Structures are given as C-alpha cells and as structure tokens.
C-alpha cells in the first residue's frame, strides 16, 4: 500500500479508488465533495450529505481542488453518468431536462 498525504485531510492511497484523492480515514473522494459544491451545495450543507465528515475536511478538500482543478475535473469527467442513463426525475430536479 502506497499512501501520499498532500494536505492535512486529503491523501492518496493506491488501494483506494486507484489513488484518487480522498479524505483521510474514509473512502470519500475529493471529487464527491466538489461534485456537491459545483451543484450549489454550500460547504456547511455538504455535511448533511456526508455526515461522517467535518467542516474542516470539506474546506480542505475544496482547497485541494482549487490547487488541483485539472486533475479533479478529469476524475469528475471520467466518472460522469452518461446523460441517457440519468433518470428523468433527476434531470428535472437539476433543471437539465
């Protein structure tokens, strides 16, 4: 197991999500936090969706993202659900129908 800790709460572990940046001690990816934030969810509200995290972890993940946008955006793009697989009710809720 190879682990790298690039910030206080963010790490990479080759055995978890193929080394994608995650919150230390969890399997929660920076990508997941950024995805909620990009949908307009405030950092404090992200805790409602990911209650096992602390606000400090959320802010550190967002800070990490701002320093590594190209990399995290690539993870987001690779893991995006194809439009034809998104349920119509989800599209309606997001205003993308």
Question: What's the whole-model pTM score?
Answer: 0.80
pLDDT tens, per residue, the chain with 97 residues:
556 667 899 999 999 999 999 999 999 999 999 999 999 999 999 999 999 999 999 999 999 999 999 999 999 999 887 878 878 887 787 776 5
Which of 22, 13, 4 has its CA nearest to residue 72? 22
The CATH code of the domain at 3-94 is: 1.10.10.10
| pLDDT at residue 89 in the model | 86
Strands (E), the chain: 3-4, 10-13, 22-23
**Residue ranges per domain, the chain?**
3-94
Which of 8, 2, 28 has its CA nearest to residue 17? 28
| pLDDT at residue 93 in the model | 79
Sign of CA dihedral 89, 37, 20, 58: negative
């Amino acid at each position: 197991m190879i682990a790298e800790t690039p910030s206080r709460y963010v790490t990479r572990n080759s055995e978890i999500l193929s080394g994608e940046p995650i919150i230390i001690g969890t399997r929660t990816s920076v990508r997941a936090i950024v995805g909620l934030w990009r949908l307009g969810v405030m950092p404090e509200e992200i805790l409602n969706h990911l209650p096992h995290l602390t606000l400090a972890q959320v802010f550190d993940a967002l800070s990490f993202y701002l320093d590594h946008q190209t990399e995290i955006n690539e993870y987001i793009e690779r893991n995006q659900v194809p439009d034809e697989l998104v349920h119509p009710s989800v599209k309606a809720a997001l205003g993308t129908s």
